[in-house]
Structures are given as structure tokens and as C-alpha cells.
Amino acid sequence: MKVPLDDPLRVLPLDGVCVVMPSETPRVEGIRRLRRTLLRHYGDGALSLLFVVPSKVGIPSDETRGEVRALLSELGPRLTAVAAVIEGTGFGASAKRSVLTFVTSVLARGTTSVRVFATVDPAAEWIAESAASDAWSPDLEVLHAEIARARIQATGE
């Protein structure tokens, strides 16, 4: 799936794992586009989400966080795993990771494996292991390549 280069929320649906990387603080409309993409690509099937949030991305508004909560609740039992990488160092990044850990664990309510990471490599490995099933197993090399591609599109790095 091609994502417009000016879209601030990169959404890369792969087999069973969707990589999401914002280039700026997410807004409600971006989360709504994410929802439409997930429903179009995965239908009613199981999926895992890998969020990669660059350090420059701020904390979303209350309204946007509400939209994310609604999305995760809607996906509910279809979610196999959710991994979130909050990049950066220091208190700000640590605080973002703590808040995200709490929010996602409350939403998952024990039905979905949820982990928050500081870097991409362990998150990609964990999501690949968590998303694997008897029917398929994500290709870790492809996952790393797609994350790198999303990073270039989102941040130019």
C-alpha cells in the first residue's frame, strides 16, 4: 500500500503486522485514516501493531488519545500483540513510555500482549515472535526493512 509522502502518519500494513510511524504529533483524522486502513487491509482477521514514535513527536491531544482508545477497543480481541517504540532519552521519553504502557495495558485487559520499548530492534523481534502463529510467521528482515523505509519517509533520517 502506498502512503502519500505528505501524510504525517505512515501506515505500512504487512502480513499480520502493521507498522505505524508518525512524523508529527498524531491528530484525530490520522487515527481515523489508520482505522480505515486497518479495516480495509486486515478485515476481520487477526493483526499486530508496531508503533514507532520518533523522539520529536509530541503527546497527542485528549481528543486524539480518545480516538486511539476507541480504535484499540474496537480492534479488541483481534489484536495479537501491540508493540510501541517511544524513541528518545531522558525524562520526557521515559514519561511517554510510562503513560503508553499504562494506557495500552488497561485497553488490552489481558487479551493482547503489549510491550513498550525504547528502541526498534527488540520491538521488531518481540512483535515478530508475538505475532507468529502456526499459519504464518513474519519475516524479521522484511519488518526491519519496512521500519527503515517508514523512518526515511517520516523523518528523512
Q: How many Cβ atoms sit within 10 Å of the Cβ of residue 145?
A: 11
State residue 29's pLDDT score: 92
Rg (CA), the chain: 14
Mean confidence (pLDDT) of the chain? 79
- Beta bridge mates, 10: 21
Where residue 31 falls among pLDDT bands split at 50, 70, 90? very high
Asked whether the predicted pLDDT for residue 17 surpasses 70, the reply is yes
State residue 73's pLDDT score: 82
Where residue 47 falls among pLDDT bands split at 50, 70, 90? confident
Cell representation of residue 1: 500500500
pTM given for the model:
0.81
Three-class secondary structure assignment of the chain: CCCCCCCCEEEEECCCEEEEEECCCCCHHHHHHHHHHHHHHHCCCCEEEEEEECCCCCCCCHHHHHHHHHHHHHHHHHEEEEEEEECCCHHHHHHHHHHHHHHHHHHHCCCCEEEEECCHHHHHHHHHHHHCCCCCCCCHHHHHHHHHHHHHHHHCC
Pick 134 or 145 by higher pLDDT. Answer: 145
Kindly list the domain boundaries of the chain, sorted by start residue. 9-155
CATH architecture, domain 9-155: 2-Layer Sandwich (3.30)
Of the candidates 99, 101, 26, 42, the residue with the CA atom closest to the CA atom of residue 74: 42
- Mean pLDDT throughout 25-36? 91
| Structure confidence by residue, pLDDT tens digits, 71-120 | 888 888 788 888 888 887 777 777 776 666 666 665 555 677 888 898 88
Buried-state track 51-70, b at ≥16 Cβ within 10 A, e below 16:
bbbbeebeebeeebbebbee
What's the CA gap between 97 and 148, in Å, rounded? 21
Where residue 157 falls among pLDDT bands split at 50, 70, 90? low
